[in-house]
Every structure is written in structure tokens, then in C-alpha cells.
A and B are shown apart, each in its own frame.
Chain A
Amino acid sequence: MLQVSIYRYNPETDLEPYMQDVQVDTGGKDLMVLDVMELIKADDDTVVYRRSCREGVCGSDGVNMNGTNGLACVTPLSKAVRKNKLVLRPLPGLPVIRDLVVDMSLFYAQYEKVQPYLQNQSPAPAIERLQSPEEREKLDGLYECILCACCSTACPSFWWNPDKFIGPAGLLQAYRFLADTRDTATDERLARLADPFSVFRCHGIQACVNVCPKGLNPTRAIGHIRNMLLSRAI
């Protein structure tokens, strides 16, 4: 039997959050953490969490498993469990709505700030704005982000200043459009990032890289943004 300790909080009935211990029969299988959560919910349907695609595409079930953020649906027990124990908590740093569900408003507000859409004032061609294969290659490792928030909520700088520091997820997208040869708003985008918080609150500890379920590297993207800001200034 797997020992699971799950974070519980219902603001309508609980004065404060608490950890609930449950035992789950996994049948000796190396299930995904989401499967275990489903087994718990089958016994107690008051347990609340987000989920949708259950295959690491939608980014809904980002949770903290034994201290590490990740997507429950693609994290096998063999990777998450330590000494037959699994501790499930909501993503850290964001307000908890209920149990494992967090309020992602701050996270989305930072995403919105980077204006994550192509900006080009020149008249659109008849079919599409073309890129060479080399130009398109620059977007690899950037566009794959599914906005699960595992990275930003693993970042201490985002914990302390979630209203000012854009965070690794937002900055990865900021660079995705800075690196796009079809986008012509580079100067305006960089000007909006030059303050001491938006980008420069990143101290390069790479907690984001460590947890990204898609294997992306926001720290490298942030480094590229810094270099662009530097070349623009000198």
C-alpha cells in the first residue's frame, strides 16, 4: 500500500489547510501520480484537483509531488515516490482555491504582459509570412511551452515578486517572440523588459529548468533576452 499525504483545504469549511493521510492500493504497478489521485478521488470525491488530457499536453495537473513540481499525468510513481511515501501539495507560491487547485491569475497576468502574439505592422502577404528553415529553427525549445506553471511556481524570485517578475514561463514566451524573424516589435518588447524586476530578478538558479515537464530551458532564453538588452544599450 502506498502512503499518500495530500494537501486539503476547503475555504468554506476549513479554518486552515491540513495534510490528509491515505493509503492507496496501486496493485504493485508503476502508475502515474494522476492515476493515484483518481484512485483517491474514487474513495473521497471531495478531493479537488485540475486535470484534462491526462497525457502531458494540456498542462492542467501541475502539482508539487514530494517537493518537486511536475505534471501528475506524466510522472510515474517510480520517479516521484520516496520510501513508499508520496506527498501531494498544490503548486507553491500561488493562492490556493481549494485542495490542489491554485489561482493562476498572477501567472496569466505576467504572461499577458509579454504580449505573446506576433506583431508586424507591414501589410500581410497574400498567403503567409514566410521563414527560412533556419529562422524557424530558432523557435524550437520555445514554442512548446504548455503554460502548466510548474517552472514559475518553482522559482523563488517569482514567489517573492509574482506581480513584478515575469517568471520563467512568461520570459520563455517573451523570447519566443523576440527570436521570431516575423515579429517587428523587438525594440518595444525589450523596452518593456528593461526594469530591474521583469527579467533581471532572475538569478539563474535554474529551478525552472529542473522541473519543466517538456524539457525546456527558460534560463537560457532569459540569458538571450539579457544579451539582447545589453547589445541594444551599448
Chain B
Amino acid sequence: MVTSTATMGRSGLYDWFVQRVSAVILLAYSVFCAGWMLVNSGFGYAEWTVLFSQTWMRVFSLLALISLAGHAWVGLWVVFTDYLTERMLGPVGKVLRVLAEIVSAIIMSIYFIWGIQILWSL
């Protein structure tokens, strides 16, 4: 067993589950958006605004936004712990990994909050 300090106390099953569920939500959202654009070909700003003024679409979009953040965080954490490691890069590996995790967490938080702002036109 790998100790919880090496894994930031995460559960592999939980991460795996988050990846799968968020992927399904993102797929549904992408298919819906692509389908809507096909059905409403030649749509303009007015139609787009009407679509996003409805609560269900805002909730659906927020769900997709949460899924995107969760999916990206788990995915990037896996990438960082594969390539930015002490085994690959020596002691500097840990520093780079923590740095990469902090930077991506900040970027994702900014996008997430900005996304909510856009959806609810705050």
C-alpha cells in the first residue's frame, strides 16, 4: 500500500470515480451543445442568450464546469506524479511537482469562478 502522505490523502477509487462520472457529464454536455448548434444552424447572439438565460441550462453548464475542473485536476495530478518525480528528476522533482500543482490549482480556480460569473452574469 502507498501511504496517504505520498498521495495527499486521496482515495484511488474516489479519483477514478470522479474521472468517469465527470467524463460522462462532459460528453453529455458536448453532445448537447453540438446538437443544439446543428439544430439551430445560423444562430446568433440572441438565440444563444435565450438558451443561457434558462435556469436548467445554467445548472447544466455549471455541472459541466465542475466536471471539467474535477476531471482536469485528477488528470493533471496523475500526469504530474508520473513525470515530475524524484525518481525522474532528483530532489528538484518534488519542488517542480508541488509548484505545478499549485499553479494548475490556481488557474483552475480562476476559470471556475470566472465561469460562474459568466453563467450568472454577475
CB neighbours of B11 from chain A (8 A): 194-196
Flag A160-194 by CB within 8 Å of B: 1 or 0 each. Answer: 11111000000000000000000000000001111
When the two chains form their complex, are residues A229 and B13 in contact, meaning their CB atoms are under 8 A apart? Answer: yes
User: Are A163 and B15 touching (Cβ within 8 A)?
Assistant: no
Q: Does chain B have a CB within 8 A of A233?
A: yes
Secondary structure dominating the interface of A: loop
Report the separation of the CA atoms of residues A87 and B15 in the bound assembly, to the nearest whole angstrom.
40
Check B15 against A113 for contact (C-beta < 8 Å): no
Residue pair A196, B82 in contact (C-beta under 8 Å): no
Asked if A77 is at the interface (CB within 8 A of a chain B CB), the reply is no
Interface segment among A24-32, A140-148, A197-205: the answer is A197-205
A161-B78 Cα distance, complex, nearest whole Å: 11
Residue in B1, B17, B87 whose beta carbon sits within 8 Å of that of A198 in the complex:
B1
Q: Is the CB of A196 within 8 A of B1?
A: no
CB of B16 within 8 A of CB of A193, answer no
Q: For the complex, give the distance between the alpha carbons of A175 and B43 in Å.
A: 54
- Which of A191, A196, A198, A226 gathers the greatest number of chain B CB atoms within 10 Å? A196
User: CB distance A160 to B16 under 8 Å?
Assistant: no
Q: How large is the interface on B (under 10, 10 to 19, 20 to 34, 35 or more residues)?
A: 20 to 34
Residues of B within 8 Å of A200, CB to CB, are 12-13, 15-16
Complex Cα–Cα for A121 and B79 (A) = 41
Q: Which B-chain residue is minimally distant from A233 (CB atoms)?
A: B13
Contact flags A90-124 to B (C-beta < 8 A → 1, else 0): 00000000000000000000000100000000000
User: Given A197-B2, A198-B2 in contact, is the A161-B81 Cβ separation under 8 Å?
Assistant: yes
User: B82–A192 contact, CB under 8 A?
Assistant: no
Residues of B within 8 A of A130 (CB): none
Query: In the complex, what's the smallest C-beta–C-beta distance from B101 to chain A, in angstroms?
Result: 14
A113 near B17: Cβ-Cβ < 8 Å: no
- For the complex, what is the distance from the CA of A107 to the CA of B69, rounded to whole Å? 35
* Known contacts A195-B12, A196-B12, A199-B12: A160-B2 contact under CB 8 Å: no
For residue A69, CB closer than 8 A to chain B, the reply is no
Q: Provide the residues of chain B in CB contact with A230, threshold 8 Å.
A: 13, 17
For B13, list chain A residues within 8 Å (CB). Answer: 194, 200, 226, 229-230, 233
30 A-B pairs with C-beta separation under 8 A: A157-B82, A160-B85, A160-B87, A160-B88, A164-B6, A191-B1, A192-B1, A193-B1, A194-B1, A194-B11, A195-B1, A195-B11, A196-B2, A196-B10, A196-B12, A196-B15, A196-B78, A197-B2, A197-B7, A197-B12, A197-B81, A198-B1, A200-B12, A200-B13, A201-B78, A226-B16, A229-B13, A230-B13, A230-B17, A233-B13
Q: A160-B83, A195-B1, A226-B16 are in contact. List 13 more A-B contacts (CB 8 A).
A: A162-B87, A194-B11, A195-B2, A196-B11, A196-B15, A197-B2, A197-B6, A197-B7, A197-B12, A198-B2, A201-B78, A229-B12, A233-B13
